[in-house]
Amino acid sequence: MVYHVGIDMGELVFVGLGLYGCSDISLRGLEEVRRADYVFAEFYTSLMPAFGLEEFRRISGKNIIVLSRRNIEDEDGRLILERARSGRVAFLVPGDPLIATTHIALRIKAERMGIKTRVIHGASIVSAAMGLSGLQNYKFGKSVTIPFPDGGEISLTPYRVISENKMRDLHTLCFLDIRVEESRYMTINEALEILLKMEDRVGEHVISGKSLAVGVARAGSEDAIVKAGAIEEILDFNFGNPPHILIIPAERLHFMEAEALVVLAGAPRWVMGMVK
């Protein structure tokens, strides 16, 4: 498809909503929403448990048009781009707007059409999980998503990524699959069970019940939970409602990381022995 740059192009502003509820949006982001001619939102890339559309409509004074994955990906964001050709559009995204690659694709498409784009950043689960765990951000390697098994088939990609990161003495941030249309949100416990099944299948001694894992639930909320321990110890731990995210630490820890896991995440004292 070829786009021709028009004379009176509008603007598309990507606005991060933050992690948990309506009040997590920045003041600058809220101002952009109030100034917009059209306001769109998506909630298929992440779950915001305390975000209420009606409440946000009252706060912003705007009608919010919620889009599906099909609207953004299969239809190439046509609804948004059509409005942004001549008007000011705010596109609300959970977390930080450009963490999901689908949003980057939309921004590129808009710019190629001659539509000006801007980004109002919001709190991201990436920095939040690292900060809550006490693990140092520069010691994280490639992140990965653990998907639900389809038809019983388990993707081994998470296992390979964790293995590669561990060989480089790096932590792995594992996003957990969500399927909004089915109201399915993977838990930390389910993710750990899947990783252990991968180990049983591959047998390269990357993951075991003795391996250290860190689970973070409902980051940004008043009842956020951070729990570290051996996988076999936290498999049955009740993390409560989603969203959940999982960290598989490196084999070696900085002494400050180990102390943080003990103090902030309830890790057993044996993690101090991982300090090298």
The mean pLDDT values, 10 residues at a time, for the chain of 276 residues are: 51 97 97 97 93 96 94 92 96 92 93 96 96 97 94 90 98 95 94 97 96 97 97 96 97 97 97 95
Which pLDDT does position 4 carry in this prediction?
43
Between CA 159 and CA 245 the distance in angstroms is: 16
Q: The tokens 């790096």 sit on which residue?
A: 170
Domains 11-120 and 125-274 equal at CATH topology level: no
Instruction: Give domain 11-120's CATH architecture.
Output: 3-Layer(aba) Sandwich (3.40)
Which pLDDT does position 181 carry in this prediction?
84
Q: How many other β-carbons are positioned within 10 Å of the β-carbon of residue 222?
A: 8
Alpha helices in the chain (DSSP H): 27-35, 53-60, 69, 78-84, 101-112, 125-133, 157-167, 188-202, 231-234, 255-265
Please report, for the chain, the start and end positions of each structural domain, with discontinuous segments joined by +. 11-120, 125-274
**Listed residue (178, 191, 185) closest to 146, CA to CA:** 191
Between CA 35 and CA 241 the distance in angstroms is: 35
Which pLDDT does position 273 carry in this prediction?
96
**CATH classification code of 125-274:** 3.30.950.10
Which pLDDT does position 150 carry in this prediction?
80
3-state secondary structure of 78: helix
Q: Furthest-apart CA pair in the chain: how many Å?
A: 65
